Amino acid sequence: MKHTKSEKLYQAGLENLVGAVNSPVRAFASVGGNPLFIERADGSKITDVDGNEYIDLVLSYGPMIIGHRHGRVRRNIRKALIKGYSFGASTKSEIKLAKILCDAVPGMDKVRLVNSGTEAVFSAIRLARAFTGRDKIIKFSGCYHGHADSLLIAAGSGLATLSLPGSKGVPDAAVANTLIANYNDLDSAKKHFAEHDDIAGIIIEPIAGNMGVVLPEDGFLQALKTLCEDNGALLIVDEVMTGFRSQFGTAHELLGVKADITCLGKIIGGGFPVGAYGARNEIMEMVAPLGEMYQAGTLSGNPIAMAAGIATLSELRDQNPFAKFEADAKTIEGALLTAAKRHNIDLVINRYGSMINPFFTKIPVTNFAQAQTSDTKKFAIFFWAMIHAGVFLPPSQFEAWFLCSALSDEDMAKIVKAINKAMQAVAEA
């Protein structure tokens, strides 16, 4: 498999792009080599500029849940394109997408559409502070909630991939009101409430997807909700990655907890830049123009993005592929564990719904510190062996793999075969 054209584009990109990329994980820093440049995609496949085709388990880091360029989505985008691209004014499609989201998320009466997951999260935090009249937020080590200053601390995959503890350019004052707790460690959150009386809320990924795939232990999310209720704080659940990936709705509902504020993104835009945050009326009526918490965006509710999101969610609801996701994830898990055992390689698999991740470690992974015990050198060997076998993975040990409903039986067989080859490559390295 040759990557000559990707190499040339990488060299060309170095002149005017930072590291030849527009998002750090695309730089392949933790797996070695240079990034692949993608030319097109269709269904479950993605093709690079050299003509190499891969089964895609990145899926734009989650949004392409029904596969690339789905016909229903394309048709809806075309209809919207004919009418115009952006108006800076309200459109009917915003109301339609908002209703789909509110109907799917219990306890979410109103929603504000924005342009990215990052924007949804920092707006949700501002809202929690406005509603409670408090300043401090608790976040969990290894959870990534976008690149807002106050959240770029102990922030999971992107920083871990590049071995960065935080980010330069973030002043101490920006994180002064951010308190760090350990995922699946209730006492670490309780300690903050014991020491501070001005905590506005807790923000958490219900399934942490930015330190691999890390699940909450039984009762953990419920205990956090109770902790918030007992202390007059709000539970903000970041479902930018997990929303609509385990059911038609949110993961936190499946896990038996009710968020005060829910953040959404990725899938709800069908591949276009969209985010959203929503809550019960009492909270959302704090947002301008109804209330004094200001947040705005010229491109929020962009009609093309709305068209893609409406079609994607409508198709996902009609397909209801969640049982298939469970079966496909179980097949991949079995293939990974069997191949690892055959070659005496330490491996732990975490999965939930249509998200899965192998950790090259021998201990269970329930938090960020445990995830970081993974052998990233083995993952790098595994990654490139999978690439050469025609399977496109996230170029980081700490990023989740995503499944789409377009995966065929043939695709699954090829993934299993690639896993066997990749594990052998790890064993022989």
Catalogue the active-site residues: 144, 238, 266
Strands 178-181 and 199-204, by their bridges, are unpaired
Locate 36 and state its tokens. Answer: 């692949």
d(CA 339, CA 7): 32
Question: Do residues 238 and 155 lie in contact, with contact meaning Cβ atoms separated by under 8 Å?
Answer: no
Locate 64 and state its tokens. Answer: 């392409």
* Type of residue found at 82: I
Neighbours of 286 (CB within 10 A): 17
Question: Do residues 263 and 120 lie in contact, with contact meaning Cβ atoms separated by under 8 Å?
Answer: yes
Locate 105 and state its tokens. Answer: 């998320």
Strands 199-204 and 234-238, by their bridges, are parallel
Per-residue 3-state assignment (H helix, E strand, C coil) for 4-62:
HHHHHHHHHHHHHCHHHCCCHHHHCCCCCCCCCCEEEEEECEEEECCCCEEEECCHHHC
SS3 170: coil
d(CA 234, CA 140): 15
Residue 16 exposure: Cα atoms within 13 Å on the Cβ side: 2
DSSP code per residue over 239-281: -TTTTTTSSSS-HHHHTT---SEEEEEGGGGTTSS-EEEEE-H
* Selection from 18, 30, 65 nearest residue 399 by Cα: 30
Question: Do residues 395 and 28 lie in contact, with contact meaning Cβ atoms separated by under 8 Å?
Answer: yes
Residues 6+ apart with CB under 8 A from 19: 27
Find residue 265's DSSP bridge partners.
Answer: 275
Locate 162 and state its tokens. Answer: 């590049």
